[in-house]
């Protein structure tokens, strides 16, 4: 019998998880809350075997409190519930102490399968996620010959490189086989990361 703590602000999903896990006869629910705050206030005599952690609590990301959770429950496996499949998110969550993920939307049988694997091996990552993780690790191990490149994702860097060549947004979209709106989305992220407000400011500040 394994114990599970649930931190999920979607009441319907949280209730469904509780009911399904309890019905299997293999799990008990240690706690089930829509807020993470009680986690650091209440005292626990027994640490849960698993903590299912939603990645969004208002303005807070679940991955940002994984390290705090692991300090309080060092023996608990943290399983992130999320819809975010980005490489940066994956690597950060693993670095912070997550054991696995369940991507929304998911079947309850899939969740149980992940919990079983984590219990047996200590972690679970699909082949798709492993590929992304290895890519991120390899990027981190590359020589930081360009401080700008180190701040951006692979696709953001490709977009910036093409801007430097003088291509228009439409030309960039065609060259990278993405939509015009996706190019614009990547550039917005670049502006935020590099603290600039326009393409001209980007060119003046970083791409001389």
CA 19 to chain centre: 26
CA 200 to chain centre: 32
Q: Where do the CATH 1.10.10.10 domains begin and end in the chain? A: 144-206
Q: Assess contact for 76 and 50: CB atoms under 8 A.
A: yes
Q: Assess contact for 8 and 35: CB atoms under 8 A.
A: no
Lowest mean pLDDT among 2-16, 117-131, 160-174: 117-131
Q: Assess contact for 4 and 53: CB atoms under 8 A.
A: no
**Burial class for 14, CB neighbours closer than 10 Å (0-12, 13-18, 19+):** buried
pTM here is 0.64
Per-residue model confidence (pLDDT) at position 24: 94
**CA-CA distance, 27 to 110, in Å (whole number)?**
15
pLDDT at 95 over 90: no
Chain segment 8-59, per-residue pLDDT in tens:
989 999 999 999 999 999 999 999 998 888 888 877 877 899 999 998 876 6
Name the band, by pLDDT with cuts 50, 70 and 90, for residue 181.
confident
CATH architecture observed for domain 144-206:
Orthogonal Bundle (1.10)
Cα-based distances in Å from 150 to 95, 143, 147, 159, 206: 17, 9, 5, 14, 13
Lowest mean pLDDT among 37-46, 91-100, 187-196: 37-46
Q: Which fold is adopted by the domain 2-134?
A: Rossmann fold (3.40.50)
Q: Kindly give the pairing relationship between strand 27-33 and strand 56-57.
A: unpaired
Per-residue model confidence (pLDDT) at position 134: 66
Smallest CA-to-CA distance from 99 within 82, 115, 83 is with 115
Q: Where do the CATH 3.40.50.2300 domains begin and end in the chain? A: 2-134
pLDDT: which is higher, 170 or 60: 170
Average pLDDT of the residues of the chain: 83
């Amino acid at each position: 019998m394994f114990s599970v703590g649930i931190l999920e602000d979607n009441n319907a999903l949280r209730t469904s998880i509780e009911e399904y896990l309890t019905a299997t006869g293999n799990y008990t629910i240690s706690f089930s809350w829509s807020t993470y705050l009680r986690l650091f206030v209440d005292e626990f005599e027994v640490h849960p075997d698993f903590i299912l952690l939603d990645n969004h609590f208002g303005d807070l990301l679940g991955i940002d409190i994984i390290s705090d959770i692991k300090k309080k429950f060092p023996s608990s496996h943290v399983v992130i519930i999320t819809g975010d499949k980005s490489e940066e998110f994956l690597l950060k969550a693993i670095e912070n102490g997550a054991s696995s993920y369940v991507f929304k939307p998911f079947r309850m049988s899939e969740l149980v399968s992940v919990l079983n694997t984590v219990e047996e091996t200590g972690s679970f990552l699909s082949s798709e996620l492993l590929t992304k993780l290895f890519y991120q690790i390899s990027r981190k191990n590359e020589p930081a010959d360009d401080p700008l490149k180190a701040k951006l994702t692979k696709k953001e860097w490709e977009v910036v490189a093409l801007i430097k060549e003088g291509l228009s947004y439409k030309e960039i979209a065609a060259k990278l086989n993405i939509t015009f709106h996706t190019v614009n989305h990547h550039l917005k992220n670049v502006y935020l990361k590099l603290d600039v407000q326009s393409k001209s400011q980007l060119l003046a500040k970083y791409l001389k």
